[in-house]
Amino acid sequence: MSLPGPPRAAHRPALASLHVPLWSIVQAGVQMGVALLSARWLGPGDRGTLVLATTVASLLLLVSSVGTGAASRVVLAEPGRWWTWSRYLRLAAVLTVPHLVLAATVGVYLVTVLSGAGAGVRVAFVVYAVAALGAHLVREGLHGLGRHRTSIVLDVVAAAAQLALVAAAHAAAVYSATTALVIAAACYTGALLTGAVIGWRADAHSRTVAPAVVTTREWWHRVGESLAFSRFALVAALGQYYVVSGDRLVLGALGRSDQVGIYSVASTLASLAVMAALALTAPITRKTAERGSLQAWERAHVPVLALTGAAAVGVAVGGWFAIPLLLGPEFDQARTLLPVFCAAAVPYASCSIDAAASAGLRDLRTGAVAAVVGSVVMTALATAGYAAWGTHGVAIAVLVTYLVMACIARVRLRRAATALAAR
């Protein structure tokens, strides 16, 4: 009988820790394919309308969720918790009602004003917005249950299905901004329903606790506690999202939808340069929290920034040749915007990993402060930049904004490091 080989269990945690970043990269790649195909097949005008509609929907999603998604990562992970998966889904359903009203009123108004969308786009926008909120809450809830990889894999499958349906719609000559929104809504709905079932099966707590009758008063009391807990997450999430996507809203308000379409191609391509940094934020936060030190950040931040810089150069050079080949001459202006966004990738990566390390030290304000200040700076500079240099002025405003945010995050992290060393 042969002797057993050396145990391999010690390698599994290290390999398992790579699953979420690797799946995140796959997800970004598939979504990039959807973005490029929609740009090529819709053209600058309809692509701009689609970008503005999805941007407004995402902004309203964060408002309507009132930070519940982020809070679910805590309330669904606590031992002896009151919140079960079924109760969380009930809260998600409750939040959907005011969100539907918000999307059908404020959302439709913004999409119409910013893009001049027709009736078909407006109806599809409302359907998309509601489906996006449900998918967001279910996805975040799965993270709360510890099903991180499952949550991201669902996103990958939904994006792959969207890619296939987009290609089918184009082949059938029915692809437009309206059908693009309907396709995305259908994929979100599929992910929502699948995630809801997976969450119910994964939440052993729901099946082990004795079922209890919850009075209406107790229900709303618990909901109020949850919303009070999540309000800070709402501020941070809104600020961070606006910093990333608010430039498109400013451009949509001041310019034309075709300009937004061209602009979004450059910014989407440049996002490839920061994938590694964003994928590593969660591990950096976790390791910093586990060790109570900045050792993980000290080892990672220089290589991450170097990798981001190299990727930015590669994307800028590759994109210069790829844009006219993949998208056609109508997107040529994106070639000159791309280097600016690629340069902005480095300070954005720096801010992201610094804020992640700060969060590991229980300093959640660093990311929020950087995002709020960045929102103000970006709005002011983008408005002035567009008046002076058009879309290039908006791109330069984004670069300056990320530099400001990176400085804020680094200064606050250094202060935290000094305080940590003094203990």
Q: Is the pLDDT of residue 207 over 70?
A: no
Residue with the bigger pLDDT between 117 and 22: it is 117
Q: Which of 253, 233, 271 is nearest to 379 (CA)?
A: 253
Domain match, 248 and 207 both: no
Percent of the chain with pLDDT over 90: 43
Let me know whether 409 and 296 are in one domain: yes
Task: Look at residue 5 in the predicted model and tell me its pLDDT.
Answer: 41
DSSP states of 285-354 as a string?
HHHHHHHTSSHHHHHHHHHHHHHHHHHHHHHHHHHHHHHHHHH-GGGTHHHHHHHHHHHHHHHHHHHHHH
The most confident of 11-25, 190-204, 230-244, by mean pLDDT: 190-204
Asked whether residue 249 is domain-assigned, the answer is yes
Contacts of 334 (CB under 8 A, 6+ apart): 262, 263, 265, 266, 269, 319, 323, 327
| pLDDT (average), residues 164-183 | 95
Q: Which amino acid type is present at position 315?
A: V
Closest listed residue to residue 18, CA positions, set 271, 274, 282, 302: 282
Angle at 135 between CA 131 and CA 136, to 5 degrees: 115
Q: Does 163 lie in the same domain as 278?
A: no
d(CA 137, CA 148): 14
* 46 and 188 both lie in a single domain: yes
Residues 385, 422 within the same domain? yes
For residues 47 and 122, membership in a common domain is answered with yes
- The count of other CB atoms within 10 Å of the CB of residue 246 is 21
Domain interval for residue 32: 17-212
Number of domains in the chain: 2
Provide the pLDDT for residue 253: 87
Please compute, for residue 61, the number of CA atoms within 13 A of its CA located in the half-sphere on the CB side.
26
Percent of all residues in the chain with a pLDDT value above 70, rounded to a whole number: 87
The pLDDT of 242-251, averaged and rounded, is: 86
1 pLDDT exceeds 60?
no
For the residues 227-256, what does the mean pLDDT come to? Answer: 79
Could you say which DSSP state residue 217 is in? Answer: H
Of 73 and 300, the structure prediction assigns the larger pLDDT to: 300
- Please, how many CA atoms are within 13 Å of residue 237, restricted to the half-sphere of its CB? 20
Would you say residue 231 has pLDDT above 80? Answer: no
Tell me if 148 is assigned to some domain.
yes
Residue 61 has pLDDT above 70, yes or no: yes
Average pLDDT over residues 310-315: 94
In a domain, 234, yes or no: no
- Span 39-50, pLDDT tens digits: 889 988 888 899
Same domain assignment for residues 195 and 267? no
User: Domain check: are 299 and 422 in the same one?
Assistant: yes
Please say if the pLDDT value at position 347 is more than 90.
Answer: yes
Kindly tell me if the per-residue pLDDT of 310 is higher than 50. yes
The answer on pLDDT for 205 being more than 80 is: no
Q: Of the candidates 273, 295, 268, 271, which has an alpha carbon nearest to the alpha carbon of residue 284?
A: 295
Distance CA 349, CA 212 (A): 47
Tell me the pLDDT band of 54, cut-offs 50, 70 and 90: very high
pTM confidence score = 0.75
Tell me: do 198 and 259 sit in the same domain. no
d(CA 77, CA 79): 7
Q: What is the pLDDT of residue 25?
A: 73
53 and 187 within one domain: yes
**Taking 60 as the threshold, does the pLDDT of residue 203 lie above it?**
yes
Q: How high is the pLDDT of residue 135? A: 93
In this prediction, residues 161-185 reach a mean pLDDT of 95
| pLDDT band, residue 2 (cuts 50/70/90) | very low
The pLDDT mean for the chain works out to 84
Report DSSP letters for 12-26, one per residue: HHHHHHTHHHHHHHH
Residues 123 and 248 grouped into a single domain: no
pLDDT grade for 313, boundaries at 50, 70 and 90: very high
Whether 42 maps to a domain, the answer reads yes
Give DSSP secondary structure letters for 32-101: HHHHHHHHHHHHHHHHHHHHHHHHHHHHHHHHHHTTHHHHHHHHTTSTT-S--HHHHHHHHHHHHHHHHH
CA-to-CA distance for 230 and 241, rounded, in angstroms? 16
Give the amino acid at 21: P
Q: Do the domain assignments include residue 9?
A: no
Residue 227: inside a domain: no
Residue 244 to residue 263: CA distance in whole angstroms: 13
Based on the domain organization, do 296 and 395 belong to the same domain?
yes
pLDDT band at 74, cuts 50/70/90?
low
Write the pLDDT tens digit of every residue in 364-393: 788 888 988 999 999 999 999 999 999 999
Residue 223 lies in a domain: no
